[in-house]
Amino acid sequence: MGKEILKEKQEERLIAFFDILGFKELIEKYEDGQNELLDNISEAISETFEQFEQLKKFHMEFSRNSILTEWLNSVDKKVFSDNFCISVLLESPILNMPKHYNEKFFFQYISMVQENLMKKEYFVRGAITYGSYYSDDNIIFSSGLVEAYKLESEVAIYPRIIISDKLVEYLKRTEFAYYGDLLIDNCGIVLLNPFNWDLVDSKIADIEMENRLINQQGHIENSFEEESQKEKQNKLEAIKLIVENKKEKYKENVKTRQKYGWLLNFIDSELNNGISENKMFKKANFK
């Protein structure tokens, strides 16, 4: 294949890159038969696909089922060792895709992967950006991947997935409206909230359902949002126990202990309805 043809096949894509903290120790234990690392990573990806399909419950009544399924099938996933590279076209070609749903779906998808890995006691650090991207069965060639890797290794620091300044500016320019998946820390870094992936859609579903019921003089007794909040609290409590055990396990390792300490602060903030005592986090709003 000629150079010009390859260049023409490069696409502008949203790109997430992240890796698993403490992978060296995990792979050594895997080689010794002490864990099921490979199976767990594969399960986390499969569970994410199944969870994303479940988002249809929020869209069943709103004619977006086919859009969601078509989008899910367009996601490009590459996993090599402990490195995850997940991407989708920056501008979706899917017909009738509501404005900003491409970015919203992408943030939700990455949040699901991150949360599913946490449940299996794997914690990731990474970044999301956009840029040129080409991949086939043998090659990944991407300026966006290079940028995301640099942010992961130099800026993210803690077990979190951050959003590049470049992508933030893009979201501002395009008047992105779905902020439920994004937070800003006290250093001004925008990051993904991995525990809010279904709250965004549950709120949208409640509004649309309420509008329908108003016309029929009805009301919602149990909202989608209330159910999502309950599920979120349960997940946070379970993951908090895992993180506390990790922090205790690595109490002699200052850097590792600090990383899990940061995550505990984040979880406590979310358990307190997004209010952190030390004001470490606030909801993102680019208006």
Within a domain: residue 4?
no
- With respect to residue 125, please indicate whether it lies within any of the assigned structural domains: yes
Look at residue 12 in the predicted model and tell me its pLDDT. Answer: 95
Identify whether 89 is part of a domain: yes
Q: Give the span between the Cα atoms of 11 and 9, in whole angstroms.
A: 6
> Would residue 1 count as lying in a domain?
no
Distance CA 32, CA 45 (A): 24
Residue 286 domain-assigned (yes or no) = no
pLDDT at 181: 85
- With a CB cutoff of 8 Å and minimum separation 6, the contacts of 256 are 21, 22, 250
CATH number of the domain residue 52 falls in: 3.30.70.1230
Q: What is the pLDDT of residue 2?
A: 47
Domain of residue 120: give its range. Answer: 9-281
pTM over 0.85: yes
Q: How many folded domains does the chain comprise?
A: 1
Does 15 reside within a domain?
Answer: yes
What number of residues does the chain have? 287
pLDDT score recorded for residue 189: 95
Contact predicate 91/54, CB 8 Å: no
Q: Where are the beta strands (DSSP E) in 58-193?
A: 76-80, 83-89, 124-135, 140-141, 161-163, 182-185, 190-192
Residue 141, beta-bridge partner list:
134
Mean pLDDT by 10 residues, the chain (287 residues): 58 95 82 77 83 68 67 88 92 86 92 93 96 89 95 97 96 85 92 88 71 56 80 95 95 94 94 69 80
